[in-house]
Structure 1
């Protein structure tokens, strides 16, 4: 057992320190849709100027965006995704997949994706890199890796809700609210790894008791988890995934892959995954649902549509 001020070493935690923030996710989404300049980013995200400036600065400092001069008089800049920024694409696709399956999209924009190599509209699909089969949380085993250990969490202060205008739009609004709240994502990480009782989750995440209670109640209210009583005197509960929660797993899985790439400890990844069906180490991929080939950002065309149009399509 470890002290309350330490948490289990986690590539997800390190990744969330960079992208686990709703405004940041909105900026990255806008970047994928082609927005580069400040005014366009502001219109696309609906973020207030000061908040947008702050997050753009952080993304440049973290190596996710490159700030480029495109006009000298007066000086004007645009923000271009780096290789590190582009590598978050699979995580974004899994957020989009979850949003399209589970969130209320009434009155919101949607997107139709076309995979250029096969020419078909598709749903981004999580798959095992070894056998190409579709994966979810129920078919993955895990064990501690060489980089497992304890770390002191970094608690940078950020708003829980985004500051935005009334007409702001997002392709993965509800999904971004989960990943944009790092406490909620860490709770989901714990439950995915078999830690589902209140005190155990608190020890695993170092989340303050009142914050943990609030986030568990919120995740329950949106249908991601459910509360199950396991003792009566006094009443005690554990938290189990509902199907909506199980379906969020690929987003965290791709985030972990990205975190292992850019924020892994020198000893190696903290977690080793195995695909039960083929028995091979899991190298998660995002593939086209139609041709089953891995998805590359430059091989995807997108069409922005209103929610009703997307449903009709």
Structure 2
């Protein structure tokens, strides 16, 4: 018997639900990269037919993808980004930047700012005042009373066996329910095992211990002795702080799903709500979706003459 869908009030959990899990995000990314048929998506993502069919059904059902028939007999379909998914472009940039900064081995794309024609290394900032380089140190988060409870609701489709993966990239973090919730709780100030447990009440002790261990091994958290040296505390590292633009972009996008996302970031420098935007490092203009593209980097072919031994 299928359990009822969790009750949601705030837009941020709704946005995470719409994305689904790691396979769903990878499928969505493949559509962004220009793969539209079932076969193209299966080969690009490296996914089985059954899992892909389930993820496509979820993504079309949540409104993330539009399905267009291109062949009648037999019926065949193409999958394209919906208007809602198109607006995810800022989160896509944030994910790309995080993977680039922390050496994801799967990074094989680059960002082009079509408006100026250059390959860009976008800079994150606040559109309210134009300040670049905004970090977690520059914002004050206001969390709605019910948001932690909604982030805490378990979703089996967004649970990943992280320990079985060779590395943890941004898509994996965003696509795993408990990792997303733990990063959010860390951002909100949790520092000890008991503080994580108090907020994430539905997480098992074993799962919390496994995630904390993996976060430390992956460099997302570091440990230090607690008061009296009895219990260790967990602290954010630069790697986890660099994930902040992903949360900020996701939070703005979550406004598509509800009037209140449940989370508000105030930019302390200007005293206004943080409006996340990316600036092009070449033309120094604010980037927008229609003028921003992700391009696959062609593999470099070695020149045989350069590898020929000297005579």
Q: Give the TM-score normalised by structure 1.
A: 0.83
Coordinate RMSD, CA, aligned: 2.8
| Equivalence for 2:38 | 38
Pair 1:201 & 2:196 matched: yes
Matching of residues 208-287 of structure 1 within 5 Å = 208-232=204-228, 235-262=230-257, 264=258, 268-287=260-279
Looking at structure 1, the residues matched to 125 and 218 of structure 2 have their Cα atoms a distance apart, in angstroms, of 26
| Equivalence for 1:133 | 131
**2:112/2:293 contact within 8 Å kept:** yes
Q: Which secondary structure state, in structure 1, belongs to the residue aligned with residue 214 of structure 2?
A: helix
**2:99/2:107 contact within 8 Å kept:** no
| Equivalence for 1:297 | 289
Aligned length: 289
Looking at structure 2, the residues matched to 173 and 216 of structure 1 have their Cα atoms a distance apart, in angstroms, of 13
Looking at structure 2, the residues matched to 17 and 66 of structure 1 have their Cα atoms a distance apart, in angstroms, of 17
- Please identify the structure whose Cα radius of gyration is greater: 2
Note the alpha carbon deviations across 1:47-103, whole angstroms, 9 max, x for none. 111101000000011010111111112211011111111122211111111001102
Q: Which secondary structure state, in structure 2, belongs to the residue aligned with residue 227 of structure 1?
A: strand
Note the alpha carbon deviations across 1:208-248, whole angstroms, 9 max, x for none. 22111110111111101111211346x21221111111111
Q: Which secondary structure state, in structure 1, belongs to the residue aligned with residue 273 of structure 2?
A: coil
Looking at structure 2, the residues matched to 186 and 148 of structure 1 have their Cα atoms a distance apart, in angstroms, of 10
TM superposition shift of 1:18: 2.5
| Equivalence for 2:142 | 143
Distance verdict in 2 for CA 1:204–1:33, change over 3 Å: same
Higher RCO structure (Cα 8 Å, ≥6 apart): 1
Note the alpha carbon deviations across 1:141-187, whole angstroms, 9 max, x for none. 1224597685485423235159xxxxxxxxx9711111111211111
Pair 1:188 & 2:183 matched: yes
Q: 1:116 aligns with which of 92, 114, 136?
A: 114
Q: Give the TM-score normalised by structure 2.
A: 0.84
Note the alpha carbon deviations across 1:15-65, whole angstroms, 9 max, x for none. 222225110111111111111111111111111111010000000110101
**1:7/1:150 contact within 8 Å kept:** no
Where structure 2 has 5 or more consecutive residues not aligned to the other structure, the ranges are 1-5, 302-311
Q: Which secondary structure state, in structure 2, belongs to the residue aligned with residue 213 of structure 1?
A: helix
Q: Which secondary structure state, in structure 2, belongs to the residue aligned with residue 291 of structure 1?
A: coil
Q: Which secondary structure state, in structure 1, belongs to the residue aligned with residue 272 of structure 2?
A: coil
| Equivalence for 2:93 | 93
Distance verdict in 2 for CA 1:221–1:9, change over 3 Å: farther
Pair 1:58 & 2:58 matched: yes
